[in-house]
Structure 1
């Protein structure tokens, strides 16, 4: 299992939000590139970069920062946030992104996954499934669908998604621990890798997720608040 530090960008700064609320910043740091380089220096083998302004407000104010990160760092970077067209995805892949993450656009129109995977290869296309109360939510977690993560996951796998990023919104950003039941089901029911996100706050959480068989875990707030040490997280993730 791989540990993937999160670098979320808003207003050209690295932030961590509480429950995805743009008005509730748990962390705010200058120079996202410097933050990303810090995680790599501490052993990160992959990074998770999200452009929150593009995702929430459809503003392209951080695109140059994102592209600078993916072109500068020597580790794979998965990029998400406001990728709404095939052209958006190709643009980021061309800039150096390891894989791009489609969220609302994929849930609303699974055809975009099929088209993009044909253009860049399915291993470069990840789909974000955000779950609240057992149902997938979209549009920055503001709109609830009537579909379970497994149902949508299977559909998007058929369309060419190469991996799934699963976030449990009910625990995300609260630093109260993970909820693994849905993660277990996704890993069992899908044939593509699953990366888990949301709620990781202890080393035990990392062990719990590792036991589910996920490919990786995205960690944000717990690293920024110094509740977890990245080197130790990586050590645990690679242990027997």
Structure 2
């Protein structure tokens, strides 16, 4: 089964979700990101996906303290994206306890930096985020087009030593209307060694099953955000979602933490 990775998108220090990447269509879910992260961990999350939306758009970020709090609180790997534009940014994120960083805009605008980052920090610590609309990679927190084809970008990143890509279809993100399976299949068929984490559109159990069919295309994991916050999965009733203010958030599951291949 593809690994399900809960998402925490941060804006203004709070947990939010955007609709199709629009900063004007924001829903605030929780005010305490650390508590939210602990709840996902209690529900047996094995990896956590965190996005700094303020930094992604180039704004000054109020979220770094929350991110450090999350990495300090959890015993699982945390991957973080948003505003990572330089090698110094990567190093700062790793020093905060982030296991691996996701680089988006800089991968489009400064590809040689990706080569240097992989060489300096290792492929396990560097992930490229490709956020696409109609096949075009978007940059600057999804607010600007790049003129770069998403699959061509992925091929370039593979040549530069990138071992994992997070691929988001912006038109599906936050809609819960189902993932763009064909887009993942197309990119996966083009790549030979780089793995893909799918992102965008998951709204029901059947969507996870559709992702599961893509294993032969290198898709081994999927990021889920709004669907988890909206409590759409029946199993969440057994994960104490409805008693989230009462459960012990400091006692984590003893199940195996992760499939090591997902961290490559």
Note whether the superposition's TM-score is higher than 0.5: yes
SS of residue matched to 2:15: strand
Deviations 1:163-187 (A, max 9, x none): 1000001111111111111101222
Structural mapping, 1:33-44, within 5 Å: 33-44=34-45
Deviations 1:123-181 (A, max 9, x none): 11000111101211112222223332210001011112221000001111111111111
**Aligned equivalents of 1:88 and 1:124: distance in 2?**
13
Q: What number of residue pairs does the alignment pair up?
A: 233
Q: Does 1:220 align with 2:221?
A: no
Deviations 1:35-65 (A, max 9, x none): 0100000010000001111112431311111
SS of residue matched to 2:62: coil
In the alignment, structure 1 segments of 5+ residues that lack a partner are 233-237
**Aligned equivalents of 1:5 and 1:75: distance in 2?**
12
Q: Does 1:193 align with 2:195?
A: yes
Moved segments of 4+, more than 3 Å: 229-232
**How much has 1:95 moved relative to structure 2?**
2.2
Aligned to 2:109: 108
Aligned to 1:208: 210
Check 1:196–1:229 CA distance in 2 against 1; reply closer, same or farther (3 A cut): farther
SS of residue matched to 2:147: coil
In the alignment, structure 2 segments of 5+ residues that lack a partner are 239-258, 260-264
Structural mapping, 1:26-175, within 5 Å: 26-175=27-176
SS of residue matched to 2:57: helix
**Aligned equivalents of 2:62 and 2:42: distance in 1?**
27
Equivalent pair of 2:6/2:40 in contact (CA under 8 Å): yes
How does the TM-score come out when normalised to structure 2?
0.84
Larger radius of gyration: 2
SS of residue matched to 1:140: coil
**Aligned equivalents of 1:230 and 1:65: distance in 2?**
28
Equivalent pair of 2:128/2:162 in contact (CA under 8 Å): yes
**How much has 1:229 moved relative to structure 2?**
4.9
How well do the aligned residues superpose, as a CA RMSD in angstroms?
A: 1.6
Structural mapping, 1:5-16, within 5 Å: 5-16=6-17
How does the TM-score come out when normalised to structure 1?
0.92
Equivalent pair of 1:223/1:229 in contact (CA under 8 Å): no
SS of residue matched to 2:115: helix
